[in-house]
Structure 1
Amino acid sequence: MYSVKTFIMKFLSIIILLLVSFSSQQKDENIYTADLIIYGGTSAGIMAAVQAKKMGKSVIVVSPDIHLGGLSSGGLGFTDTGNKSVIGGLAREFYHRVYLHYQQDSAWKWQKKEEYGNKGQGTPAMDGENRTMWIFEPHVAEQVFEDFAEENKLEIHRDEWLDREEGVTKENGKITQITTLSGKTYHGKIFIDATYEGDLMAAAGVSNHVGRESNATYDEKWNGVQVGVYQHRHYFQKKISPYLIPDDSSSALLPEISSEPPGENGTGDHRIQAYNYRMALSRHPDNRVPFAKPENYDPARYELLARVYAAGWDQTFEKYDPIPNLKTDTNNHGPFSTDYIGKNYTYPEASYAERKQILKEHTDYQKGLMYYMANDQKVPREVRDEMAQWGLAKDEFADNGNWPHQIYVREARRMIGEYVMTEHDVLGAKEVPEPVGMGSYSLDSHNAQRFVTDEGFAQNEGDIGVHPEKPYSISLGTLLPKKEECTNLLVPVCVSSSHTAFGSIRMEPVFMILGQSAAAAASLAIDQDIPVQELSYADLKVVLDNEDQVLTQKE
């Protein structure tokens, strides 16, 4: 028979084994493994996941966001398409599904289908011949992405934020795992950074750039500071005093104007083009939420706009672009509008807490602006009367006070990778090697600063819009870090490009295209157990052709 001591020892051993087993199970619950780990639930991230699943790979999408689709479902419904013939693959499938949605009578709740004006960018919004629709409501886009996720049984972990300080583990030039702030760890063979900020790329030690390069860096024309370049109408066309006491330079500057000199033309700087929220507004009385007065509202910060109105500006509603059901995708327009110019410079590399504060400042500014235009006596009566017909769409962004859940991060970090796209590639001055998709939009940058001219007037700087003569190819090398920096990462959003080239590449259809191509490349590299930089382009091209990606301009 066992002695009491022996019995106790065995009992304790069993307890210890059970505790160890339980601890192991608890630990394993926070460890996940897949062939491909995608960080970011943007449009690029979801298309990448779908493509990887099509190629038989296990995939986990680790998304800081709760909502899928990034800006495509976050308010940008008036799609910046450019030449639609170069949009293929899953991106075209997305716009086809949008088309199918609006063929249903049930889709037209606030407006009759025949009353919708069908206005798009360059072509009709609803293209019956090609069965695509390029203009849509935010919730429709989000549902399409959710449908993609459900049909492909995508494993998506939402509200998971990369530990940017200690959450990336690398061995021999490869990422082996990433860890989120909640303590979850993800092991993968290859990783894709599909975020707008490039957080995984940066945390993995991959070279990147924030701000505008000098023109000398890549022998460009449209990079760097661009004082006096006015290619859109987002500048002060009249002489507007920037001073608290008009024309008195001894008085303080009005709010929203920098006291810093703009810099010499063509020189690089830390500035990035302005962000804003693409609001979904409604003019249906039963689906309209009046513009509320923000808690910290101060009409004085909009005095510069009052002076613009007083000088005769009358273009307030020109970028209330129509989307179905009497709604808009409302964008920045004019010298003083929804772009919060100069207040996002630190955002790309800011901590999460700092970014949260920057987003709040952008939200407060833009909500205050809408309230100001609807109510302030300095705003022309005709503008206030029209604004009274508008409000936030009640059936959009319902869990966020009808405010978009995604700010328009027009530019953040940009990778410096295997191949750097520049304006020479975009404008057709050179042949692009190893194409994995195409773009066609203009070199488009919003303003980066608002300053005081030497003559003592307010002016904006940074807005450019140079149109390529024809669509251009985008190189595989723009998705790849330098081999010596990381061999199992692809970056389809914060691609390797100059500020000017990114101004064209940064469109949502292109991000979908590049997300799909990145996943195809990742899947082949997994199959062949090779660094992504060693993948045969010929092998990749076969897959992309089969997926109906458009890689070069058809003659």
Structure 2
Amino acid sequence: MTNQIASIIEADVVVVGAGPAGIHAALAAGRGGAKTVLIERYGFAGGMSTAALVYPWMTFHTTEGKQVIKGTGQEMVDRLTALNASPGHVRDTCGFVHTITPFHPEVYKVLAVDMLKEAGVRLLFHSFVDDVSVKDNSINGVTVTTKSGRIKLKGRIFIDTSGDADLAYLSGAPVLQGREGDHLTQPMTMKFRMRGVNLSKVKAYIIEHPDEFYHKTPFDELPDLYLSAVQGFYKHWKEADLPIKRDQVLFFSGPEADEVLVNMTRIQGLDGTNVEDLTLAEELGRKQVLMVADFMKRSLPGFEEASISQVGTQIGIRESRRIEGQYILSMHDVIEGKRFEDVIARSGYPIDVHAPSGNNVNVSWIEGDGAYDIPYRCLLPQNIDNLLVGGRCISTSHEALGTTRLSPSCMATGQASGTAAALAIKHNISPQDVSIKELQALLYQNGAILD
């Protein structure tokens, strides 16, 4: 293949990355009347929710149960529920948050595409952005490599929902990575599913041995609840003494009645934007999957007949690059439940930082009403006038990313970025000049919660 451009596509809005943020960004832009193209490197939508098996979605609510994320994210849940592909929001039976939202990933892949096409969004799957053209602080085109040659996409507004700030980085916008000082990021995890699990036996064991499980587990209510999540088996994990820096067993039920999603492998010290590190992470992650599955089958009650049913298409990445935007959301902003005049989304998920080194998870809870604001300025990079971001790569500190990276939060910031892009196209202005009041009114109109 040569470097020549095989074809050119023109659009109002170009969105890069079809994860939870990208789906909702493209959906909002398309519904807002903008001619929108969504680029995705895989052959399906969903990003980490599908390719890396990030399941279930958590959370649309505060720890007290107040819903703070709706909009197109809630619409997606409602449509999945109507298709019998999600029970909706259910209690988190490990008690870490109030609700989690299971979904069937294969139905989600199809529904996401249906909704995007309903909104008039053009999809380019199997397309990898490898070049960005910038002139006078504006992106005038991106080039993708495909099976049918290189394609150039010209747009007026671009949205980076790649998760890794790929578009922002390639455009020359300033980016951050990892924690301050050593730049280490949260570890990567290869997730996997097991079938043949006797969840009734698991639940009975939890009820009989509460001291072996997370202290916030709703033990008194457990007999009457669907067992959605399990966190603990501390004794079993300690006795196994596996070479994995985790301190407990963690898994979630579904989507099938005898199936669980296991979140226990941990790959530390590698860079999710470095191809050789990613290659090594995939190798180590898959070896850890076999190790953990063998441990669970041998040691955990209810897993005697279990076997691996699915492993992620790729390793799950919690943290890589993020933009250094016009405002950097801080840990204190989150913990204090800070309010902003330019709020475009809220979240009730606590700060949850998987240690870049060591075996623990550092959690900080939100004060006040249990939710915090995400300001519009976190979606606006420096130096590039026609670029917005949504999802995992918005402008935050390393610690604050421990909450904004969660899928429902990504859906909300994605909807906001797509809505802002459509407004910028409508008024022929840059995203920086979009009226906050008009943006907020449109988000309200389309179901978002901002107060």
TM-score, length-normalised on structure 1?
Answer: 0.66
Please say if residues 126 and 135 of structure 1, whose CA atoms lie closer than 8 Å, have aligned partners that are also in contact.
no
| 2:238 aligns with one of 303, 308, 311 | 308
| 1:121–1:31 Cα change, 3 Å | farther
Alpha-carbon shift at residue 534 of structure 1 (Å) = 1.7
Please say if residues 338 and 369 of structure 1, whose CA atoms lie closer than 8 Å, have aligned partners that are also in contact.
no
Report the Cα distance in structure 2 between the residues aligned to 1:306 and 1:120, rounded to whole angstroms.
Answer: 22
SS in 1 for 2:108: helix
Is 1:320 aligned to 2:251, yes or no?
yes
Larger radius of gyration: 1
Alpha-carbon shift at residue 324 of structure 1 (Å) = 3.5
| 1:52–1:307 Cα change, 3 Å | closer
Report the Cα distance in structure 2 between the residues aligned to 1:56 and 1:541, rounded to whole angstroms.
Answer: 17
Report the Cα distance in structure 2 between the residues aligned to 1:206 and 1:327, rounded to whole angstroms.
Answer: 47
Amino acid corresponding to residue 42 of structure 1 in structure 2: G
| 1:410 aligns with one of 318, 323, 334 | 318
Alpha-carbon shift at residue 492 of structure 1 (Å) = 0.7
Alpha-carbon shift at residue 473 of structure 1 (Å) = 0.9
Alpha-carbon shift at residue 355 of structure 1 (Å) = 5.5
| 2:194 aligns with one of 281, 293, 297 | 281
Amino acid corresponding to residue 266 of structure 2 in structure 1: D
Please say if residues 320 and 328 of structure 1, whose CA atoms lie closer than 8 Å, have aligned partners that are also in contact.
no
Is 1:44 aligned to 2:11, yes or no?
no
Amino acid corresponding to residue 75 of structure 2 in structure 1: E
Please say if residues 237 and 249 of structure 2, whose CA atoms lie closer than 8 Å, have aligned partners that are also in contact.
no
Amino acid corresponding to residue 139 of structure 2 in structure 1: I
TM-score, length-normalised on structure 2?
Answer: 0.80
Q: Which residue is equivalent to 2:372?
A: 472
Amino acid corresponding to residue 326 of structure 1 in structure 2: A
Report the Cα distance in structure 2 between the residues aligned to 1:311 and 1:192, rounded to whole angstroms.
Answer: 44
Q: Which residue is equivalent to 1:338?
A: 265
Task: Report which stretch shifted further, 354-363 or 315-324.
Answer: 315-324
Q: Which residue is equivalent to 2:227?
A: none
SS in 2 for 1:499: coil
| 1:486 aligns with one of 340, 365, 384 | 384
SS in 1 for 2:416: helix
Q: Which residue is equivalent to 1:3?
A: none
Is 1:542 aligned to 2:441, yes or no?
yes
| 2:46 aligns with one of 58, 61, 69 | 69
Q: Which residue is equivalent to 2:352?
A: 444
Report the Cα distance in structure 2 between the residues aligned to 1:307 and 1:423, rounded to whole angstroms.
Answer: 31
1:522-533 aligned within 5 A: 522-533=421-432
In structure 2, list runs of 5 or more residues that go unmatched.
199-234
Alpha-carbon shift at residue 47 of structure 1 (Å) = 1.0
| 1:178–1:374 Cα change, 3 Å | same
Amino acid corresponding to residue 107 of structure 2 in structure 1: V
Q: Which residue is equivalent to 1:255?
A: none
Report the Cα distance in structure 1 between the residues aligned to 2:318 and 2:426, rounded to whole angstroms.
Answer: 35
Alpha-carbon shift at residue 119 of structure 1 (Å) = 4.8
Report the Cα distance in structure 1 between the residues aligned to 2:93 and 2:27, rounded to whole angstroms.
Answer: 28
| 2:184 aligns with one of 248, 255, 271 | 271
SS in 1 for 2:252: strand
Report the Cα distance in structure 2 between the residues aligned to 1:151 and 1:359, rounded to whole angstroms.
Answer: 38
Report the Cα distance in structure 2 between the residues aligned to 1:329 and 1:521, rounded to whole angstroms.
Answer: 38
| 1:99 aligns with one of 55, 73, 81 | 81
In structure 1, list runs of 5 or more residues that go unmatched.
1-26, 128-132, 214-267, 286-304, 376-380, 394-401, 451-459
Residue-by-residue CA offset, 1:338-368 (whole Å, 9 max, x unaligned): 12233x2x222x24xx365134224333333
Alpha-carbon shift at residue 49 of structure 1 (Å) = 1.1
Report the Cα distance in structure 2 between the residues aligned to 1:546 and 1:374, rounded to whole angstroms.
Answer: 47
Amino acid corresponding to residue 204 of structure 1 in structure 2: S
1:247-262 aligned within 5 A: none
Residue-by-residue CA offset, 1:166-206 (whole Å, 9 max, x unaligned): x1111110000001234110000000011111111100111
Task: Report which stretch shifted further, 526-535 or 515-524.
Answer: 526-535
Query: Identity over the aligned pairs, expressed in percent?
Result: 26
| 1:328–1:420 Cα change, 3 Å | farther
Please say if residues 417 and 496 of structure 1, whose CA atoms lie closer than 8 Å, have aligned partners that are also in contact.
yes
The Cα RMSD (Å) is: 3.2
Amino acid corresponding to residue 73 of structure 1 in structure 2: T
1:15-164 aligned within 5 A: 30-74=7-51, 75-81=53-59, 82-83=61-62, 85-102=67-84, 119-120=91-92, 134-163=101-130
Of Structure 1 and Structure 2, which has the larger fraction of its residues in strand? 2
Residue-by-residue CA offset, 1:301-321 (whole Å, 9 max, x unaligned): xxxx99931679xx9985222
Please say if residues 334 and 372 of structure 2, whose CA atoms lie closer than 8 Å, have aligned partners that are also in contact.
yes
| 1:101–1:121 Cα change, 3 Å | farther
Amino acid corresponding to residue 361 of structure 1 in structure 2: E
| 1:270–1:407 Cα change, 3 Å | same
Q: Which residue is equivalent to 2:230?
A: none
Please say if residues 293 and 308 of structure 2, whose CA atoms lie closer than 8 Å, have aligned partners that are also in contact.
no
